[in-house]
Homo-oligomer: A and B are copies of this chain.
């Protein structure tokens, strides 16, 4: 079976995380997927919803967020192509957060029913997707550490290190350069700081010649020093091979 474009995204993604075989490939390739385009800042899934399908990022970025106390909100994760941010909806209802597009994005919807059938047929695929949700959880733990222990500058630096590495895995960060259509307000909401302070810290990173950030394009100039400031250790990403050469 010839996998379609969205399927290959998912396959490429999983391939970088675990080793799997042709049977796994065929199972995934047989999943029905419906592609849809969404404009920037568009809510794909609402908190409280009961879903009958999952969404996979094909192109662009999604982010998950929860309303915080009062007017505040907290972004709890960003998602890159290949991610399935609501994979957990297979087993948990209702959704405990929103999912929105960051910039314009292409999303593939996978109905729960055939997804569950595929998993029921293959304990191996079950393990693979279970593992995906576990890595997801590991990122949340690191975000707790990020927001709980680091100052604003390090929080932003850490976020950038994480995004660069996750995008590199799916081939979207050549030369430490990548597209990231987040406003400074998004960064602030993700790091638990004010937008104004986020602005100042980003300027600080720029003036230290650690990053370039113009429009929606980020370029990391000195990954080692950025990682040092961020106290960044990629172990929590649980990538298959962490031998990332610079």
Contact = CB atoms under 8 A, between A and B. Distances in A.
20 contacts: A48-B235, A66-B141, A66-B142, A68-B148, A68-B149, A72-B149, A74-B148, A76-B141, A91-B130, A91-B131, A92-B135, A94-B235, A123-B123, A130-B130, A133-B133, A133-B134, A133-B137, A140-B140, A143-B144, A144-B147
Given A140-B137, A140-B140, A131 B92 contact: yes
A108 B112 CA distance: 35
A96 interface: yes
A135 to B, nearest CB: 7
Given A69-B154, A130-B130, A235-B96, A88 B137 contact: yes
Interface of A: 48, 64, 66, 68-69, 72-74, 76, 88, 91-92, 94, 96-97, 120, 123, 126-127, 130-131, 133-138, 140-145, 147-150, 154, 191-192, 231, 235-236, 238
A165 B7 CA distance: 41
Contacts of A73: 149
Contacts of A140: 137, 140-141, 143-144
Given A130-B133, A144-B143, A150 B92 contact: no
A74 B144 contact: yes
Given A96-B238, A144-B140, A149 B91 contact: no
Contacts of A135: 92
A134 B68 contact: no
A225 to B, nearest CB: 15
A241 to B, nearest CB: 14
Nearest to A151: B69
Nearest to A121: B123
A143 B192 CA distance: 12
Given A68-B145, A74-B149, A88-B138, 17 more contacts: A64-B141, A66-B141, A68-B148, A68-B150, A69-B154, A74-B144, A76-B141, A88-B134, A92-B138, A123-B123, A126-B126, A133-B133, A137-B137, A137-B140, A140-B140, A140-B141, A148-B192
A238 B68 CA distance: 18
